Chains A and B, each alone.
Chain A
């Protein structure tokens, strides 16, 4: 019971901090919107993917990107907490490291999901998502994707000492994951060289985006993998990252 309450209070803290930081929420929306409208419009008229409207194709990719970027960026909170001392208060508290990790991970995931939901709503309002019911079908997939990425961010942050290095490392991780995920273009044999296809198969975002796209585009899109397969990979990634993240956070000097 104490563990659950400790976990809950840590979750609440992350969410409160996030909701009070309006600038962060707004700036988190700007970049996906730019991708969607400027990049999306440009490519739409420059070259098409089959008979698909490129913006419709791109949208699930941008939702995935938003989740990835926000999740990874939020990992920085571990470094902040360490730098400003709050981490000590948490680490000496009589609750387990597992609860600490889950409190933080679920809190950060909530923040990242809020960001993803805003983009999703935007897509619904603008008619990119044709059926509003899809919103509720996409959400569980987004939740699963977020857990893994947030855990990855927390893991990296556990090993990095200062804020500046974290920014560098994260963009070093983010961009390849984003570009090699099929978010911007289909990573399938008929469109891209084999090496790109092979590399993207090792990218968890590929499976997340593929799952989102299957749901959002329905019959219009021929998926890379069956939905159950996509989800299985995402869940395995989640489990692995949660275990690694918990271990990374509980290292004791």
Chain B
């Protein structure tokens, strides 16, 4: 399979800080490649270098076969970018923004109208296309930016935190567009995110980045498999007794008691759960609560870096995980 992006020891330093440290990745044709990491991990710096906005301190990369330092203009012509921060002109209408982009990227005048209508349709903004952007919601602006990134038929689309700051519904919407894009266009997508769910649902492969280095790189499924199974947490007064019984009858090897709760690590948690409850009932042990936890990328991140991806958030990982804020380090 053709390599669309290839980096060779790509490095960027800002003074003392090494934001990206000898990065070596390859991205395949038509894949969605996710860069997952906390804020400040170096994701945007990587994208900025690949988009030729930022010069690497050392090392280099090829995008669509063009060298990012020597053939910047060819690289630019062949890629589309949706920046993390808004980059539209909010005094112009949606359509005017798109026309301007088409002209900046040398899209033939005869094709501009059709292409613009097509991308507007894709992100469902046809009815608002002639309104000044100031009247758009942030989700609509985001969609317009995605549309804009597609007008010049890029071979690679870079999405830097495409759903940051958007409500769950809009986020879901944008995910649908991105997936649709992959199905319908001949396009490779590189996406950065600090949302686990986003990386999980969209990416074919995910690189977990921390302090400018890759700590893990694989498909989301395989990454989750490295954690060796689901965790069943049982709250019961008879934790010790239950643990012994289960080990005997169901041959569970990995058990652990923490805070009076029993933790079982098993391969197929959903099928296993009823057996645990049955066994307890047969042996007249009282169970207060049972929780089944299937590993998420969040756990994978925790596993590789030893900490949660962010200090607060909806997907709080295991309670006992020591959360250290990056800022303190």
Q: Which residue of A lies closest to B99 (CB)?
A: A9
Determine the distance from Cα of A55 to Cα of B53 in the docked complex, in whole angstroms.
Answer: 52
Cα separation A94 to B85 with both chains bound (whole Å): 20
Give chain B nearest CB distance to A78 CB in angstroms: 13
Give the residue name and chain of the B residue nearest to A89 (CB): B87
Contact B105 A93 (CB under 8 A): yes
Shortest B64–chain A CB gap in Å is 13
Q: How far is the CA of A20 from the CA of B85 in the complex (A)?
A: 25
CB of A76, distance to nearest CB on chain B (Å) = 14
Decide: B103 and A17 in contact? CB cutoff 8 A: no
Interface SS of chain B: loop
Chain B residues near A93 (CB-CB < 8 A): 76, 101, 104-105
Q: B91 to chain A: which residues have CB within 8 Å? A: 16-17, 20-21
Q: Is the CB of A84 within 8 A of B99?
A: no
Q: A90-B104, A95-B104 are in contact. Are A252 and B99 (CB under 8 A)?
A: no
Given contacts A20-B91, A90-B104, A95-B104, is CB(A84)–CB(B73) below 8 Å? no
Q: Are B100 and A13 in contact (CB under 8 A)?
A: yes
User: Which residue of B is nearest A17, CB measured?
Assistant: B91
Interface check B90, CB cutoff 8 A: yes
Instruction: For the complex, give the distance between the alpha carbons of A252 and B53 in Å.
Output: 8
Which residue from chain A places its CB closest to the CB of B14 in the assembled complex? A253
Which listed residue, A16, A88, A90, touches B83 by the CB 8 Å rule? A88
Measured CB to CB, the nearest residue on chain A to B77 is A94
Residue in B closest to A103 when the chains form the complex, CB atoms: B104
Bound complex: CA A94 to CA B51 (Å): 11
A8 at the interface (CB under 8 A from B): yes
**Given A91-B53, A94-B105, residue A17 in contact with residue B77 (CB < 8 A):** no
Question: Would A9 and B100 count as touching, CB distance under 8 A?
Answer: yes
Which of A16, A92, A253 is within 8 Å of B76, CB to CB? A92
> A99 — nearest CB in chain B belongs to which residue?
B104
Cβ contacts under 8 Å, B99 to chain A: 9
For A8, list chain B residues within 8 Å (CB): 103
| Residues in A neighbouring B266, C-beta threshold 8 A | none
- Nearest CB on A from B104, distance (A): 4
Number of B interface residues, CB 8 Å?
Answer: 28
Question: Are the CB atoms of B104 and A6 closer together than 8 Å?
Answer: yes
For the A-B complex, the count of residue pairs with Cβ-Cβ distances under 8 Å equals 70
Chain A contact residue count (CB 8 A cutoff): 27
Q: Mark B152-172 against chain A: 1 for CB-CB distance below 8 A, else 0.
A: 000000000000000000000
Cβ of B54 under 8 Å from chain A: yes
* B103-A92 in contact (CB<8A): no
Q: Which residues of B contact A85 (CB under 8 A)?
A: 83, 85-88
**CB of B96 within 8 A of chain A?**
yes
* Set B54, B73, B85, B103: member contacting A253, Cβ < 8 A: B54
Question: Is A2 part of the contact surface with B, judged by Cβ < 8 Å?
Answer: yes
CA distance A116 to B90 in the complex (A): 27
B91 closest partner in A (C-beta):
A17
Q: Are A17 and B89 neighbours in the complex by a CB distance under 8 Å?
A: yes
B100 & A92 in contact (Cβ 8 Å cutoff): no
User: Measured between C-beta atoms, what is the minimum distance from A250 to chain B in Å?
Assistant: 12
Cross-chain contact A252 with B87 (CB below 8 angstroms):
no
Q: Which residues of A contact B89 (CB under 8 A)?
A: 13, 17, 86
B88 touches A89 (CB 8 A): yes
Chain B neighbourhood of A5, CB < 8 A: 103, 106, 109
- New A-B contacts (18) at CB < 8 Å, excluding given A2-B106, A92-B76: A6-B104, A9-B99, A10-B100, A10-B104, A12-B100, A13-B100, A17-B92, A85-B83, A85-B88, A86-B89, A89-B83, A89-B87, A92-B81, A94-B73, A94-B76, A94-B105, A95-B104, A253-B54
Per CB-CB distance, the 7 closest pairs between chain A and chain B, nearest first, are: A2-B106, A9-B103, A93-B104, A85-B87, A94-B76, A94-B77, A89-B87
27 contacts across the A-B interface (CB closer than 8 A) = A5-B106, A6-B104, A9-B99, A9-B104, A10-B100, A12-B100, A16-B91, A17-B89, A17-B92, A21-B91, A84-B86, A84-B90, A85-B88, A87-B87, A88-B85, A89-B88, A92-B76, A93-B76, A93-B101, A94-B74, A94-B76, A94-B77, A94-B104, A94-B106, A95-B104, A252-B55, A253-B54
